[in-house]
Amino acid sequence: MAQVSLQNVSKVFSGGTAVVDKLSVGIENKEFMVLVGPSGCGKTTTLRMIAGLEQATSGDIFIGDRMVNDVPAKDRDIAMVFQTYALYPHMTAFENMAFGLKLRRYPKKEIAQRVNEAADILSIRHLLGRKPRELSGGERQRVAVGRAIVRKPKVFLFDEPLSNLDAKLRVQMRTEIHKLHTRLATTIIYVTHDQVEAMTMGDRVAVMKQGVLQQVADPIAIYDKPENKFVAGFMGSPPMNFMDGKIIKKDGKLYFTEGKITVKLVEEMSVVMNAYMGREVVFGIRSEDIYDKLFVSEAPPENVVRLTCEVVEPMGSEVYLYLASGTHTFIARVGAHDRPQVNADIDMVFDMSKAHFFDKDSEKTLV
- Same-domain check for residues 208 and 313: no
Q: Which are the contacts of 113, defined by CB distance < 8 A and separation ≥ 6?
A: none
Tens digit of pLDDT at every position of the chain (367 positions): 589 999 999 999 988 889 999 999 999 999 999 999 999 999 999 999 999 999 999 999 999 999 999 999 999 999 999 888 889 999 999 999 999 999 999 999 999 999 999 999 888 999 999 999 999 988 998 999 999 999 999 999 999 998 888 888 888 888 888 888 998 889 999 999 999 999 999 999 999 999 999 999 999 999 999 999 999 999 998 999 999 999 999 999 999 999 889 999 999 999 999 999 999 999 999 999 999 999 988 889 999 999 999 999 999 999 999 999 988 899 999 999 999 999 999 999 999 999 999 999 999 999 9
- Residue 118: the pLDDT is 92
Of 184, 205, 234, the residue that ends a domain is 234
Domain-located, residue 110: yes
pLDDT number for residue 218:
97
Whether residue 367 lies inside any domain: the answer is: no
**Are both 329 and 189 inside the same structural domain?**
no
Specify if 365 maps to a domain. Answer: no
Please tell me the predicted confidence (pLDDT) of residue 172. Answer: 85
Confirm whether 366 is domain-assigned: no
Per DSSP bridges, beta strands 4-13 and 17-27 are antiparallel
Full domain range(s) for residue 98: 4-234
Rg, Å, the chain Cα set: 25
| Amino acid making up residue 232 | A
Contacts with 58 (C-beta within 8 Å, 6 or more apart), sequence order? 8, 9, 10
Cα distances (angstroms) measured from residue 38 to each of 34, 192, 194, 208? 13, 9, 8, 8
pLDDT of residue 167: 83
Residues 70 and 182 in one domain: yes
- Decide if 198 contacts 219 (C-beta within 8 A): yes
Residue 220 sits in the same domain as residue 159: yes
Please report, for the domain that includes residue 261, its CATH number: 2.40.50.140
Write out the E strands in the chain. 4-13, 17-27, 32-36, 58-63, 66-67, 78-81, 155-159, 187-192, 204-209, 212-217, 241-250, 253-258, 261-264, 280-285, 290-292, 304-314, 318-325, 328-335, 345-350, 356-359
Domain count, the chain: 2
Same domain, yes or no, for 230 and 274? no
- The domain that holds 69 is classified in CATH as 3.40.50.300
Asked if 278 and 260 sit in the same domain, the reply is: yes
Would you say the pTM of this structure is higher than 0.75?
yes
Same domain as 187, residue 214: yes
Residues 290 and 225 in one domain: no
Is there a domain that residue 364 lies in?
A: no
Examine the domain organization and report whether 107 and 215 are in the same domain.
yes
Same domain for 40 and 67? yes
